[in-house]
Every structure is written in structure tokens, then in C-alpha cells.
A and B are shown apart, each in its own frame.
Chain A
Amino acid sequence: MVQSIGKTTHLLNSLETGESIRDVVGPLGKPSEIERFGTVVVMGGGVGTAMAYPTAAALKRADNRVIAIVGARTKELVILEREMSEVSDELLITTDDGTYADKGFVTDKLRQVIERGTQIDLVLAIGPIPMMRAVADLTRSHKIRTVVSLNPIMIDGTGMCGGCRVLIDGKSEFACVDGPEFDAHRINFDVLVQRNAMYRAAEQKSFEDFQRERESLLAKVHAEQEAECALQGDGR
């Protein structure tokens, strides 16, 4: 699942059936820790729900009681509702603007679950940085173990460049090989936010150029795809 945000995600979503991506590598990083924890709250914010879903399913299969909390900015962005309900014992949904389900944030729902006295053994939160940070702040005071999945800017994904370094308890770790999942209470979120903003100007320029030349760029991409298919058709 890809949410169109900048140039690359728009390009990905413009691919048509039968078209391909030239280079894909993975899976990389450490696998999610799946075991019988007891009661696990799995939280997905926006497109983060797509990443939370397979882990929620695995946790359910590992015999956990899974409480799923799915949040989105608005109704159209609520995804995987049926799938999440199938792998959870309880599904809670929020939208920021109240256009679907309850108005509010995923942390409001988490707070309710905590306050009603549910014993939570683990929280897994995947979504925008402000959401993961808010979850970490909330669970810290309740001493609930919390894992979040980070996606700082990466180049190679093999630990070679160090661009995705995050500060964990004051020490550098690489999200590509040491992560992507980290203990939320040990992350320096300020540094994460600051480093993710490093190329904002260039990203904006790329996207503006893309929007201006959208039609010709997409035509070029599809033409390249056709050429690639023709090459493969030749058995090369």
C-alpha cells in the first residue's frame, strides 16, 4: 500500500497492471518480535496501519489478545478496517475530523483502554512521528512497554551509509539494520524529526516539478515500461 505524498509515491501509484519497478530489495532489518506477550495494543496511524496489519495478524496467531486502534485524518484515509477487525479481539477507530467513527486521536482511545483497567503487556504503534511520540509519552507514565517502527531517510538499507541513524538512549543505531522497530521510550524524537526534515526544500522542488510536468513525466515512465517489457519479451 502506498499513499501518494511526494514525487516517488505518486510515481509508484501511477503504475498500471503489468508494469514493474526495476529494483526491489528486501526484506531488510530485523524482523518484528512475535511471541505470546498477553494483551497487545496494535496502533496504526494513517498509512502506518498497512505496516501494523501483518504484525497484528502474527501477534494474533501467537495467541495474544489483540486490541487494534486505527486512526486517520479523515474518513477516506481509514484503511484495512475489515482486515484489522479479523485479526483483533477489539477494534477501535478514530478520525481527526470526526467524519468517521469517533472524533479524536488514537491516543485518546489508548487512554480509554488504559483507564478502563485493561492490563496491557505491549503497545505497538506505527504511524506519523507525532503520533508515535504521543503514544510513547502516554505509555511512559504507565510503564507499558512500547515498540514503534521508524522510517528515517535511508540510502542503501544495509548499514553502509549511516544516514538513517537514530539516537537511542543517546547512542547511534541504524534503523535499516538495528531496526526498524525500537523501544519507543528510548528514542530521541527531537533528533528524528529534525533529521527527517533535512531535505524538505529539495523534496518540495521535486514534487512541484513533478506536478508541473506530470503528464509528460508519466508518459515517459510508461514508455520506459513498454521498452522494458519489449526487452524482456526478447528473452534478454
Chain B
Amino acid sequence: MNPTKSLNPVPIKERMKVPRQPMPEQAAVLRAANFKEVNLGYSEELARREAQRCLECAKPVCINDCPVGVKVKEFVQLIVAGDFMAAAAKIREDNVLPAITGRVCPQEDHCEGGCLMGKKVQPLGIGYLERFVADYEQQHMDRSTIRKAQPSGKRVAIVGSGPSGLTAAGDLVQKGHEVHVFEALHELGGVLVYGIPEFRLPKQIIREQIDYMRAMGVHFETNVVIGKTVTVNELMEEEGFDAVFIGTGAGLPVFMGIPGEHLNGVYSANEFLTRINLMHAYEFPNFDEPMLDFRGKNVAVIGGGNTALDAIRSALRLGAGKAYVLYRRSEAEMPARKEEVKHAKEEGIEFRVLTNPIEFLSDGKGWLSGVRCMRMELGEPDASGRRRPVPIEGSEFEIPLSVAVIAIGTSANPLIQSTTPGLATNKRNYIEADAVTQRTSRKGVFAGGDIVTGSATVILAMGAGRRAAKSIHEYLTAGSW
């Protein structure tokens, strides 16, 4: 169809009057006790009604605000036209993981944040529509029809099967390169699998997206720790790879450096979520990985990002009596997706903002019994542009706790940097890579995602994977560095 000619039956002037179609979801009291997905997805009817709200701007901002450049207006028009498979194909031109981004992208910071309608009413539900299209495609597609590109004869190694690696792999395999993805863990998906819980991103969805990539010709190998069991040099010199993309994620938990962090019951968010998601601790004893039994007890997470909310909402589902978010700034500064904050509140998570832990308290036998905190107030803006939290003197107070989860970010895992000679890093040990080409200081080696930028989001990592794929393809085609 011709994308410039609108098939939308709703006149432009009427569109702003149609309310944003709400996402059907599991009731809060039910979902707080299970790990099933919170959002249930649009029906065809809801999707078409929502798509018809699109103003079809002549110069759409939504596409500019998307780190991978999804052609939002065009795929939304295809939904209006009722051709959902064509809409899926349109998204796939720019995004190889639509079912994932449709679920976990912070749309308010990207496409929906730019949406013109958002200035007056609620923006177009672009994330919901993307998810609908991706799920529709999954249910109706025939994988045997996926075409493989003409082989280029070049081989690319992708280190890490998280969002940046999968995106780079998907883009490169479509150019005909032989792509091998190496994953350190026993399951594919990186942070999508070990970090994001089932109730926000079901494992089945990730498996389907990876199966799709397998059908496109991507090779996957698990249990390979690049930098340890095989080095980057060995990949290039002994295993014959023409280029390497490093997308390992940040991968080193940050602790707070306050007393009591070694008490039993204090976790990093990475450990807490890995136990629950990757190792299925929530299904103990059917799976062997245990979790402390904190049914009816108090659990707190420290931090205000998506990881913090994923952790505390998992704790609630495992039976926590009280579940707190302790965050040192105010709610306005929280980096978490707005929808997650809303969902968490509905489920009964208590937000204690402007609260900063200063010591974990012991029961005298090595187990956590509580946390001592200080109240904070907001001062002048800091380097991040957010107002700096300042402790209020004499405001110390204690919260009784059985489990505390530290979710204040991650730093750079040194495994690859320390075993790849000539790979330049910055002073915080992240890998130096060009912001446009994702090239590192080593010929043929590219990097992107959290191992370059520090903790960020799935979609920003995917953007880096996409840029890297483009410049890897250019490098492999031109042959010059």
C-alpha cells in the first residue's frame, strides 16, 4: 500500500478526542501473588482503535526519538489498514526484537515522549501497538518462509546474547555474514533472561525471538566466557572471525560500601534477580536454586530504576509481608518506567523516597535485622542534571528488614578488557567506542551497550548494536579500518 495515503476512517480533528486505549492487565491483587505477565496485550479491535488515533504527522518526531529508528507512522498506518503482518515486517526492518521492546522500552523517553498528541492529551500507545503487532506475527507466521541472505563469506563473533548482541546479530545475518553469538550463561538472552522477571517479559517471548533469529541463520553457543575460556585474540587469530562485537553488558554489581553488606539477607540486585529468573528460585523445590524464605517478612530494595522495581515486585510475589523501595531522591527523579512505578504502587509496594540507607543492622548472629537510614532533601542539580540529595542532620531512623536488595547500578566487568591487549578503556574501565561507528581501539573489534556506556536501557543497547552492525558491515565490505 502507499503509506502516504491514509486509510484512517477517523477524521484528523476527531482523533484527539478518542481516549488512549487502556492496556488490559491482570488485577493487582491477583498478579501480586503470581509471576504471570501483568499486561495482557491489545485485541485486534483495541489495536485498530488505538492506531486510528495517530495524527500521521508530515514530519513525525516519534521515529527520530527511536534509538533504532522504527518507522512508527508507517507501521501504525498498516495496523489501521488491518495488515498486521505487513506492520510486523515494517517494524522488523529496523528492530529485530519487537516483542521485547514493545514490553520493556521506556516509550515515554523515546517515541511516545515525542508524540505530538502528548502535548495536549495522552500520546499514541506506540509501545502497546508494537507489542500487539509482534505477538500477532508470532502467532501467525510461518518460520519456514524466513529468507536467508546470500552468504558474504565473512564471519562475525558477537560476545553476549543480550539486547545489543542480538540486535547486531540480527542486522548482520541479514547482510549475509556468518554470525556466531557467544553467551557466558547457559541460557540465551543476557539481561532479558537473568534480569527482567517473567511478569514483565515472559521467557517464552525471548525464546521465540531467538528462535526467529536462528531461523534467519544466526548460530548460538552457550557456556562460553569470552575473556576467560576463549579470548578475543583467539576468536580473531585462531577461530577465523573477521570482526568481533563486544556487547557483554556492564556485569559487575555495585555495592554501597556501608557497614553490614556481608550480612546474610543482603543481596545485589543481579544476584537476587538471577536466582529468581535465570535459576527459577521462585519454583523451588521443583528447581534446585533456593531463595531465603521471607514469606510475611519485610523486604526492601535500594534504588529507583527498573531493576529495583523488578526486584521488589519479585519479592512481593514470593510472599514478602512488607515491600519497600528506598530511594534517595524524590519520585520525579526515579529512572524507572512510569508504567512500572504505577504497577508497583497498585500491587502494594511502599515507596520511601528521600531515604538513604547508611548501615545494615545485624541480629547478632550474622543475619540482617534492619537498615538504618537518613532522610534526604534535594539541593542543587548535580552532574546528572538531577537535584542532588543532601542528608538531613539528625534524621536517622531504622526499618526492620529480613532481606535487602541493592539496586544502585552496575559497573564494568573487567574480564574482556583485562585479556584483550590494546583495547582502550576509560577511567572507569568501560570500553572506549566511537559513538557513531562503535569502533574500539582494536582493528576489527566493535563494542556497544552497557559495557561502553554504563547501565542504560534495553533500547539504547539495541541502538548501539544496530550502529555497530552497520559499521561492521561497512568494514567487512570495504576491508579498510
Interface residues of A, Cβ cutoff 8 Å to B:
7-8, 22-28, 155-163, 165, 167, 172, 177, 188, 190-191, 194-195, 197-199, 201-203, 205-206, 209
> B266-310: contact bitstring with A at CB < 8 Å (1 yes, 0 no)?
011011001100010000110010111100000000000000000
Interface residues of B, Cβ cutoff 8 Å to A:
184-186, 194, 222-225, 228-229, 251-253, 255, 261-262, 264, 267-268, 270-271, 274-275, 279, 284-285, 288, 290-293, 366, 413-415
Are B262 and A167 in touch, CB under 8 angstroms?
yes
Are B292 and A161 in touch, CB under 8 angstroms?
no
Cα A33 to Cα B224 in complex, Å, equals 24
Query: Which residues from chain B contact A198 at a C-beta distance below 8 Å?
Result: 264, 292
Cα A172 to Cα B261 in complex, Å, equals 9
Cα A22 to Cα B267 in complex, Å, equals 28
Query: Which residues from chain B contact A162 at a C-beta distance below 8 Å?
Result: 253, 255, 268, 270-271
From A155, A159, A205, B251 is in contact (CB under 8 Å) with A159
From B194, B262, B264, B413, A159 is in contact (CB under 8 Å) with B413
Query: Which residues from chain B contact A197 at a C-beta distance below 8 Å?
Result: 264, 366
Query: Which residues from chain A contact B267 at a C-beta distance below 8 Å?
Result: 163
Are A161 and B270 in touch, CB under 8 angstroms?
yes
Are A160 and B252 in touch, CB under 8 angstroms?
yes
Are B261 and A202 in touch, CB under 8 angstroms?
no
From A163, A167, A199, A205, B271 is in contact (CB under 8 Å) with A163
Cα A46 to Cα B299 in complex, Å, equals 39
From A22, A160, A161, A195, B264 is in contact (CB under 8 Å) with A195
Are B228 and A28 in touch, CB under 8 angstroms?
yes
Query: Which residues from chain A contact B252 at a C-beta distance below 8 Å?
Result: 159-160
From A23, A172, A205, B222 is in contact (CB under 8 Å) with A23
Are B262 and A206 in touch, CB under 8 angstroms?
no
Do A199 and B290 form a contact, CB below 8 Å, given A23-B223, A165-B262?
A: yes
Are B413 and A160 in touch, CB under 8 angstroms?
yes
Closest-by-CB residue of A relative to B271 is: A161
Cα A188 to Cα B262 in complex, Å, equals 11
From B223, B275, B291, A25 is in contact (CB under 8 Å) with B223
Cα A165 to Cα B268 in complex, Å, equals 11
Query: Which residues from chain B contact A27 at a C-beta distance below 8 Å?
Result: 228-229
Most buried by A among B184, B229, B262, B270: B262
B265 to chain A, nearest CB (A): 8
Most buried by B among A24, A158, A165, A194: A158
Query: Which residues from chain B contact A191 at a C-beta distance below 8 Å?
Result: 262, 366
Are A155 and B275 in touch, CB under 8 angstroms?
yes
A42 to chain B, nearest CB (A): 25
Query: Which residues from chain B contact A209 at a C-beta distance below 8 Å?
Result: 285
Are B225 and A28 in touch, CB under 8 angstroms?
yes
A194 to chain B, nearest CB (A): 4
Cα A172 to Cα B271 in complex, Å, equals 15
B66 to chain A, nearest CB (A): 29
Query: Which residues from chain B contact A160 at a C-beta distance below 8 Å?
Result: 194, 251-253, 270, 274, 413
Cα A115 to Cα B251 in complex, Å, equals 48
A11 to chain B, nearest CB (A): 9
Query: Which residues from chain A contact B225 at a C-beta distance below 8 Å?
Result: 25, 28, 157-158
Are B285 and A161 in touch, CB under 8 angstroms?
no
Query: Which residues from chain B contact A7 at a C-beta distance below 8 Å?
Result: 288
Do A159 and B290 form a contact, CB below 8 Å, given A25-B184, A26-B229, A205-B285?
A: no
Are B292 and A199 in touch, CB under 8 angstroms?
yes
The 8 closest A-B pairs by CB, nearest first: A202-B290, A194-B366, A161-B271, A23-B186, A162-B253, A162-B268, A25-B223, A163-B271
Closest-by-CB residue of B relative to A11 is: B288
Do A206 and B288 form a contact, CB below 8 Å, given A22-B186, A158-B184, A159-B251?
A: yes
B470 to chain A, nearest CB (A): 29
Do A161 and B413 form a contact, CB below 8 Å, given A172-B261, A194-B264, A206-B290?
A: no
A20 to chain B, nearest CB (A): 13
Cα A8 to Cα B292 in complex, Å, equals 19
Question: 6 A-B contacts, Cβ less than 8 Å apart?
Answer: A25-B223, A159-B251, A160-B270, A162-B268, A194-B366, A198-B292
Cα A188 to Cα B261 in complex, Å, equals 14
Query: Which residues from chain B contact A165 at a C-beta distance below 8 Å?
Result: 255, 262
Query: Which residues from chain B contact A177 at a C-beta distance below 8 Å?
Result: 414-415
Cα A25 to Cα B222 in complex, Å, equals 9
Query: Which residues from chain A contact B366 at a C-beta distance below 8 Å?
Result: 190-191, 194-195, 197
A41 to chain B, nearest CB (A): 30
5 further A-B contacts with Cβ under 8 Å, apart from A155-B271, A156-B185, are A25-B225, A160-B252, A167-B262, A195-B264, A205-B285
Query: Which residues from chain A contact B293 at a C-beta distance below 8 Å?
Result: 201-202
Closest-by-CB residue of A relative to B249 is: A160
Cα A96 to Cα B175 in complex, Å, equals 66
Do A172 and B255 form a contact, CB below 8 Å, given A23-B186, A199-B292?
A: yes
Are B229 and A206 in touch, CB under 8 angstroms?
no
B224 to chain A, nearest CB (A): 8
Cα A156 to Cα B277 in complex, Å, equals 13
Query: Which residues from chain B contact A172 at a C-beta distance below 8 Å?
Result: 255, 261-262
Cα A194 to Cα B270 in complex, Å, equals 21
Are A158 and B255 in touch, CB under 8 angstroms?
no
Cα A25 to Cα B221 in complex, Å, equals 12
Closest-by-CB residue of B relative to A191 is: B262
A123 to chain B, nearest CB (A): 26
Most buried by B among A26, A172, A202: A202
Are B274 and A195 in touch, CB under 8 angstroms?
no
B416 to chain A, nearest CB (A): 11
From A158, A199, A202, A206, B415 is in contact (CB under 8 Å) with A158
Most buried by A among B186, B224, B279: B186
Query: Which residues from chain A contact B229 at a C-beta distance below 8 Å?
Result: 25-28
Closest-by-CB residue of B relative to A202 is: B290
From B228, B275, B290, A203 is in contact (CB under 8 Å) with B290
A164 to chain B, nearest CB (A): 9
B16 to chain A, nearest CB (A): 47
B420 to chain A, nearest CB (A): 16
Cα A29 to Cα B356 in complex, Å, equals 34
Are B262 and A161 in touch, CB under 8 angstroms?
no
B233 to chain A, nearest CB (A): 18
Query: Which residues from chain A contact B194 at a C-beta distance below 8 Å?
Result: 156, 160
Do A155 and B288 form a contact, CB below 8 Å, given A23-B186, A25-B229, A172-B255?
A: no
Are A161 and B279 in touch, CB under 8 angstroms?
no
